[in-house]
């Protein structure tokens, strides 16, 4: 159920399309990469030309960080975050 509405999920992709994702408790972040790079790893946004759209992913990550009132930057390296900040970054927000 989402709220009070019954929902049928046919596949993991169907769940993602409905805004549902799995959040693992074990942190699997790459310390030498930024918050935004970890968030989009394997799911990179691309421009119409096919090139990876870093600016779009950074902007999206900054918006989410702001929406959740998180104080670290999308461009911060994960290795420089505190453990609670890493937990927030690892949750995918």
Considering the domain boundaries, does residue 58 fall inside one? Answer: yes
Range of the domain at 61: 28-90
Considering the domain boundaries, does residue 86 fall inside one? Answer: yes
Considering the domain boundaries, does residue 78 fall inside one? Answer: yes
Considering the domain boundaries, does residue 9 fall inside one? Answer: no
Q: What is the DSSP letter of 79?
A: G
CA distances from 26 to 1, 31, 38, 57, 62 (A): 26, 14, 14, 24, 23
Considering the domain boundaries, does residue 12 fall inside one? Answer: no
pTM of the predicted protein model: 0.67
Considering the domain boundaries, does residue 37 fall inside one? Answer: yes
Let me know: does 44 contact 58? Beta carbons within 8 Å.
Answer: no
How many structural domains does the chain have? 1
From first to last of its 93 residues, the chain has per-residue pLDDT tens of: 778 888 888 988 888 888 887 765 666 899 999 999 998 988 898 999 989 999 999 999 999 999 999 999 999 999 999 989 998 887 765
């Amino acid at each position: 159920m989402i709220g009070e509405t019954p929902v049928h999920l046919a596949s993991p992709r169907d769940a993602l399309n409905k805004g549902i994702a799995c959040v693992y408790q074990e942190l699997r972040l790459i310390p030498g990469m930024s918050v935004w790079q970890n968030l989009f790893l394997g799911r990179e946004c691309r421009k119409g030309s096919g090139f990876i759209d870093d600016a779009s992913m950074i902007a999206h990550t900054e918006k989410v960080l702001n929406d959740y009132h998180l104080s670290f930057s999308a461009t911060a390296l994960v290795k420089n975050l505190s453990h609670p900040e890493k937990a927030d970054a690892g949750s995918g927000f």
